Amino acid sequence: MDFTIFLIQVLNALQYGLLLFLVAIGLTLVFGIMGIINLAHGSFYMLGAYAAFVLTSLTGNLFAAIALGIPLAFVFGVVLEKLLFSHLYKRDHLEQVLLTYGLILIFEELRSLTVGDDVHGVPIPELFAFSIQLSDVMSYPAYRLVVSVVCIVLAIGLYFLIQRSRLGMMIRAGSHDRDMVQALGINIKTLYAVVFAIGVSLAALAGMLAAPLSSVYPGMGFSVLIISFVVVVIGGVGSVWGALVAALIIGFADTFGKVLVPEWAGLAVYLVMAMVLLWRPEGIFRKG
C-alpha cells in the first residue's frame, strides 16, 4: 500500500473510531452507573443527525445547528430520564431491553412522520469546505480532520471532567458502589439524570458531526448502536477509557477491513469481538 493511501486510511480510521467513542460513552456510563441497557441510544445519534439537517436548513450553518442542538439534546435527555428511564432502575434487563426497543420504534416513526423517510445531505460548513493536499493526486477533506480534532478535545475535556472534577468523582464513585454514594449524601437521582443527559448529548453531537460525512438516513441509529455495543463489550462495561481504546480498535478494524477484504468487511468488527470474548469475556478494561 502506498504511504499516502495508508495515511488517509489511518486518518479515516481515527475519525470513525473517535466518533464511535462519543456514542459509546453514553452507553457505557449508563450501563456502568445505572445498570441500564439502552437500545434506544442509537436513536439519539439518529435524532442528532436529523436535528443537524433541520437546524442547518433553518439557520444556514452547521455550527449554529450544533450550538442549538446540544442544549436541546441535554434537556431531552433529562426529560426522558425523569419520565421513563427512572422507572427502569429496579427492573431486570429484559424489561429494559423491551422498553427501549419500543422507544426505537417510536423515535423512528416520529422521525418518519415529521421529516419523512428520504435521505438528506447536510452541507459541510464553508469554513472547512476545502481539502488538504497530501501529494500530487491525493488530498484529504479538512472537515474530517476537524471532526477528529473536536473529538480529541472532547476526550481530553472528559478526562478532566471525570478524573478531576467533583461531578467526575461522583460518577466514578457511582459506578463503583451505588449504595455507598447514596449513603454519603449525594443526590443519586440528580446524578443519574445528569449522566444520562450527558450521554444523550454526546451521542446527538456525534450524529450532528457525522451528518455532513455520512448523509442523514433512516436506520442510521441502529447500525451505530450495534457497533457501539461491540465497543462496550470489548472495552468493558462502565470503562470510559476502555471505550476509547475499543472504539479506536474497531475504527481501524473496520476501515482496513474495507480496504483489504471489501466483500467481508462487515464481519471484521465481529471477528475482533469474538476474539476478545475468547480472551477476556468481561472486556479488556473490566476491573475485577
Identify which of residues 202 and 273 has a Cβ nearer to other proteins in the complex. Answer: 273
CB of 86 to other proteins, least distance (A): 11
Q: Does 254 bind other proteins (CB under 8 A)?
A: no
Binders of other proteins: how many residues, by CB under 8 A? 42
DSSP three-state, residue 157: helix
**End-to-end alpha carbon distance in the chain:** 41
Which region, judged by CB under 8 A, interacts with other proteins, from 49-57, 73-81, 105-113, 155-163? 105-113
CA angle, 137 then 8 then 244, to 5° = 165
d(Cα 124, Cα 67) in Å, to the nearest integer? 16
Q: Which three cell numbers stand for residue 174?
A: 457511582
214-243 footprint of other proteins as x/- string (CB under 8 A): --------x---x--xx-xx---x------
Cell 436529523 belongs to 50
Contact 20, 250 (CB under 8 A): yes
Q: How far is the CB of 31 from other proteins (least distance, A)?
A: 6
Smaller CB distance to other proteins: residue 41 or 144?
A: 41
Q: Rounded to the nearest whole angstrom, what is the least distance from the CB of residue 109 to other proteins in the complex?
A: 4
Residue 84 interacting with other proteins (CB under 8 A): yes
Rounded to a whole number of angstroms, the minimum distance from the CB of residue 153 to other proteins is 29
Contact 210, 49 (CB under 8 A): yes
189 lies in the site for other proteins, by CB under 8 A: no
CA–CA separation, 172 vs 34, rounded Å? 12
SS3 140: strand
Angle in degrees, CA 18, 23, 24, rounded to 5: 90
Q: Which residues bind other proteins (CB under 8 A)?
A: 31, 35, 37, 84, 87, 91, 93-95, 97-99, 101-106, 108-110, 112-113, 222, 226, 229-230, 232-233, 237, 263-264, 266-267, 270, 273-274, 277-278, 281-283
